[in-house]
Amino acid sequence: MRTTRNITVAVAAAAAVALGASACSAPSDVSSSGGGKKADSSAPLTVAASPTPHGAILNFVRDKLAAKEGLKLEVKEFNDYNLPNKVTEDGQVDANFFQHKPFLDTYNKKNGTHVVPVVNVAIEPLGVYSKKVEKLSELTAGNTVSVPNDPSNEGRALKLLADNGVITLKKGVGSDAKLTDVEDAKGIKITELEAGQVAPRLADVDAAVINGNFAIGAQLKPSTDALALEKAEGNPYANFLAVKKGNEDDPRVKKLAKLLNSPEVKKFIEDKYTDGSVIPAFGAPQS
């Protein structure tokens, strides 16, 4: 990418943070350290994002829209669901774009962080994929299905499996389900993996529930490859732009929020993701 810095393996310096098998060095040119510190409104706004679709959307804004608003935008890509919030809290980046509200709420509670949503942008429906069966009804006792291991996405995944008859959940349990809420797995083994590892290890299991962005990154087409797809209508899991609390009024953040909810971005999403894997979902985040 042009101004996007890809995450690379780095072993040295206290400025590096672990990212599974890779690491990301803390940028030296970040303009604000978070926590409400007044930022230079003329400095670049650095945003952490997962590559697809979040990075792609941000790159479109950077290349086509930002200059007209007087915004200098830099994008840092992460193939991880924990580091973007960490570097946002630490002030290594100014904002992030990769997550939904249930995930952020869980992360903040667990880590004592103070990241808050700014504006909703898009929804990426979860899907069930397989390289070994053509229908979910073909899954039988002894088969293995992998799901993301973070609480919010695992709950969504288990609900999707239950909605499609693969498992049965305890009565009254919904998208907040845990493995202990599985009442009947019909002999199917449910395994947990870090969300970014589910798609790369699809061939190792009989089926897997994969987040939309990771499915796209693995060249999977939700509309044709998914054996079951989470419904977008009424879906509360919109992904949003987020910052450390106190930075919501940064003029650069406000400019980016406006652009991310613009007609141009809506058209970009609809034109690029024609299979419905990413759907515009503009507006204020869930409180």
For residues 227 and 129, the answer to whether their CB atoms sit within 8 Å is yes
Residues of the chain with pLDDT > 70: what percent? 86
pTM for the structure as a whole = 0.73
**Cα 143 to Cα 134: distance, rounded to the nearest angstrom:** 14
pLDDT tens-place string over residues 216-255: 889 999 889 999 998 877 678 899 999 999 999 999 999 9
**What is the spatial distance between Cα 115 and Cα 104, in angstroms, rounded to a whole number?**
8
Model pLDDT for residues 183-210, shown as the tens digit of each residue: 998 999 999 999 999 999 999 999 999 9
More confident residue, 8 or 201: 201
Evaluate whether 163 touches 230 at the Cβ level (below 8 Å): no
Domain range summary for the chain, segments of one domain joined by +: 16-124+236-283, 127-229
Cβ neighbors of 263 (< 8 A, separation 6 or more) are none
**Closest C-alpha among 194, 118, 119, 121 to residue 153:** 194
Q: Measuring CA to CA, how many Å separate 3 from each of 44, 63, 131, 146, 161?
A: 11, 10, 36, 35, 40
Question: CA–CA separation, 12 vs 16, rounded Å?
Answer: 7
Q: Which comes out higher in pLDDT, residue 213 or 155?
A: 155
pLDDT at residue 10, as a whole number: 35
**pLDDT tens for each residue of 266-286:** 999 999 998 888 999 999 997
Structure tokens at 18: 């672990």
Which segments of the chain does DSSP mark as H helices, in order?
Answer: 56-60, 83-90, 101-111, 151-163, 195-198, 212-217, 222-225, 251-260, 263-272
* Helices 83-90 and 101-111, axial angle in degrees (round to 10): 60
At 29, the pLDDT band (50, 70, 90 cuts) reads very low
The reply to whether 127-229 shares the fold of 16-124+236-283 is: yes
Instruction: Tell me the percentage of the chain whose pLDDT exceeds 90.
Output: 72
Selected from 3.40.190.10, 3.40.190.150, 3.40.50.300, 1.20.1260.10, the CATH number assigned to the domain covering 127-229 reads 3.40.190.10
Mark out the alpha helices in 151-211 (DSSP H runs).
151-163, 195-198
Whether residue 153 has pLDDT greater than 60: yes
49, 97, 122, 144, 209 from 256: Cα distances, Å: 14, 11, 15, 42, 32
pLDDT attached to residue 57 = 98
User: Which string of b and e fits 174-190 if b means at least 16 CB within 10 Å?
Assistant: ebebeeebbeebeebeb
The predicted model gives 98-126 an average pLDDT of 95
Which fold would CATH assign to domain 16-124+236-283?
D-Maltodextrin-Binding Protein; domain 2 (3.40.190)
Task: Give the phi and the psi of residue 80 in degrees, each rounded to 5.
Answer: -150, 150
